[in-house]
Structure 1
Amino acid sequence: MSIEDRDLAIAAAEAGAAVVRAKYGASLARVDKSGGDFATAADIEAEHAIIEVLRTARPDDAVTGEESGRTGADDAERRWLVDPLCGTLNYAVRTMLVAVNVALRTRLGVTVAASADPFTGEVFWTDGTGAYVRRDGVDERLTPSAESRLVDVNLDPPFPNDPAFRAVRLLADPEFVAAFRPRVVSTTLAVAWVAAGRRAAYVTDGHLGDSVHFASGIALCQAAGCVVTGIQGQPLHTGVGGLVVAADQDTHAALLALVGSQFAADPAR
């Protein structure tokens, strides 16, 4: 019997998470990439495991992997976006803050997605209509909440809107400090946490269309009912790009105002 896309995304993310978990704490050689980034054997082997699951069930689908790149037709109607270990530097220094992300992009957008936490055993997943977390085989619907006031800010490059906007400046803004409590975990697991009510919001710069890092988290937040836009409140993947995802409208509006003050202060804009 054919496996449904949502179940395939979950199975693939779990396969990658099993590799990441098994290799945790081992001495892993680093493979240098551009811009000072690197991968480890865990990244590469987890991606192989994920793609094997996808290829077995959907041999005709295209895939974009963080480590192996693009396969299949560029204009493929079905493309899997695979990030086998988001938070590689965390992992390399034995910090258990990582995510394994798998998403399917079709002509309708991202239709299913899963973000697995290898160390809690949780899998955050969406079928495009609802968003859930699976623990020990039991699914619970995700409910966003701004109650924590915790906002994760991505400080990793690239920064395409510098100098008009730098996410790091939010951390020193008195209005931000008065309203929120910053967090920097350096993994897109934090985007899934917004959908789950563990973070009030998440902010990053960057052009994120077809991003293997962000596709799953964005889909989860949209399905959970979060407010999801670019950094100036524009539709995703348009204009200056970026991402502001918030648990509710008030949190989103407050963050847009803070971001907007940076753009307004830049004489070039």
Structure 2
Amino acid sequence: MAALSGLIRVMERAARRAGGRLRRDFGEIEHLQVSRKGPADFVSKADRMAERALYDDLLQARPGWGFVLEEAGTIEGDADKPRWIIDPLDGTSNFLHGIPHFAISIAVQEPRLDGKGWGDVIAAVVYQPITDETFWAEKTRGAWLHDGRLRVSSRNRMSEALIATGMPFQGHGDFAEWARIYGAIGPEVAGIRRYGAASLDLAWLAAGRFDGFWESGLNDWDTAAGCLLVREAGGFVTDYRGRSEPIHAKQVLAGNDRLHSKMHKLLANSLK
């Protein structure tokens, strides 16, 4: 069992506070004030209030740190300090349709030592309010669900693998690209799931519930925490060309070592 560091305690406390608010609002879905932000992309009063609660708690705990927020955008902090990358409600469409599958995602990213941009993600929390599950990871300290160590699955046969993905929808994504990848991977695996919350897909991959994941057209706040969770659980995360960066959002391919390699080969051939 790993002792929670001060940083993870701060992150979990903030996530649980915001998560309690989301649970209450989820129980009164019909009363939410909902506005349209774009085609099939909704933002709710609950989303904004959760983000504000996270911002207030984390700013108080770590003054001077910057923020990358889904709703409020980028808020610069001290150049030599880390920044928070936050999705206050990943799975907004699920939330607004009464589907109990959504999460809060918080990651911490360090500035590069040379002062040119941002480097590694060093801490991550993905909190699922309905199930009260806290997935967390710190660089070099492993990935955990509460006090239990997480490991990616050991499956090495595509025919036994359960793969998660995100499908294009109105105004988002490349249908033709996704169809080619699905056509290559789908016939080879035991099943493909689309649950609508990338942070949880990656957390569940880290926990061995899924064996692989691919999606494109995401944002840093969707995947920053999940990328670290998968890596600290022994998995691999790259883009579609096999390149590894601290955060993958525009293209994400993740899995254990053997399945990642097999998925990458199928995916790369499908896009030639």
TM-score class, shorter: 0.7 to 0.9
Aligned CA distance change for structure 1 residues 37 and 74 (closer, same or farther; 3 Å) = farther
1:132 and 2:144 are equivalent in the alignment: yes
1:6 and 2:18 are equivalent in the alignment: no
- Could you tell me which residue of structure 2 aligns to residue 166 of structure 1? 177
Q: Secondary structure at the match of 2:221?
A: coil
Equivalent residues in 2 for 1:73-222 (5 A)? 73=77, 75=79, 77-107=81-111, 108-129=119-140, 130-134=142-146, 139-147=147-155, 149-156=161-168, 158-159=172-173, 162=174, 166-173=177-184, 176-188=186-198, 189-206=200-217, 208=219, 211-222=220-231
Displacement of 1:10: 1.5
- Could you tell me which residue of structure 2 aligns to residue 25 of structure 1? 27
For 2:57, which of 38, 53, 56 is the aligned residue?
Answer: 53
TM-score by length of 2: 0.84
- Could you tell me which residue of structure 1 aligns to residue 265 of structure 2? 257
Displacement of 1:250: 1.8
For 2:242, which of 233, 240, 261 is the aligned residue?
Answer: 233
Displacement of 1:31: 2.3
Aligned CA distance change for structure 1 residues 238 and 13 (closer, same or farther; 3 Å) = closer
Q: Secondary structure at the match of 1:256?
A: helix
Note if contact 2:212-2:254 (Cα within 8 Å) is conserved in structure 1: yes
Note if contact 1:167-1:203 (Cα within 8 Å) is conserved in structure 2: no
Note if contact 1:230-1:237 (Cα within 8 Å) is conserved in structure 2: no
Paired residues, number: 251
Measure the CA separation in 1 of the matches of 2:93 and 2:223. Answer: 17
- Could you list the per-position Cα deviations for residues 40-60 of structure 1 after superposition, in whole angstroms to 9, with x for gaps in the alignment? 111111111111210121121
Aligned CA distance change for structure 1 residues 87 and 239 (closer, same or farther; 3 Å) = closer
Q: One-letter code of the match for 2:205?
A: V
Answer with 48-57 or 84-93: which moved more: 48-57
Aligned CA distance change for structure 1 residues 149 and 121 (closer, same or farther; 3 Å) = same
Aligned CA distance change for structure 1 residues 238 and 202 (closer, same or farther; 3 Å) = closer
Measure the CA separation in 1 of the matches of 2:89 and 2:204. Answer: 17
Unaligned runs of 5+ in 2: 112-118
Displacement of 1:242: 0.6
- Could you tell me which residue of structure 1 aligns to residue 115 of structure 2? none
- Could you tell me which residue of structure 2 aligns to residue 245 of structure 1? 254
For 2:72, which of 45, 50, 68 is the aligned residue?
Answer: 68
For 2:233, which of 208, 224, 248 is the aligned residue?
Answer: 224
Note if contact 2:162-2:211 (Cα within 8 Å) is conserved in structure 1: yes
Aligned CA distance change for structure 1 residues 74 and 167 (closer, same or farther; 3 Å) = farther
Displacement of 1:87: 0.3
Measure the CA separation in 2 of the matches of 1:179 and 1:118. Answer: 30
Aligned CA distance change for structure 1 residues 156 and 143 (closer, same or farther; 3 Å) = same
Note if contact 2:180-2:271 (Cα within 8 Å) is conserved in structure 1: no
Q: CA RMSD in A?
A: 2.4
Q: One-letter code of the match for 2:164?
A: D
Measure the CA separation in 2 of the matches of 1:73 and 1:58. Answer: 10
The sequence identity of aligned pairs, in percent, is 27
- Could you tell me which residue of structure 2 aligns to residue 267 of structure 1? none
Measure the CA separation in 1 of the matches of 2:218 and 2:196. Answer: 17
TM-score by length of 1: 0.85
Unaligned runs of 5+ in 1: 265-269
Measure the CA separation in 2 of the matches of 1:47 and 1:238. Answer: 21
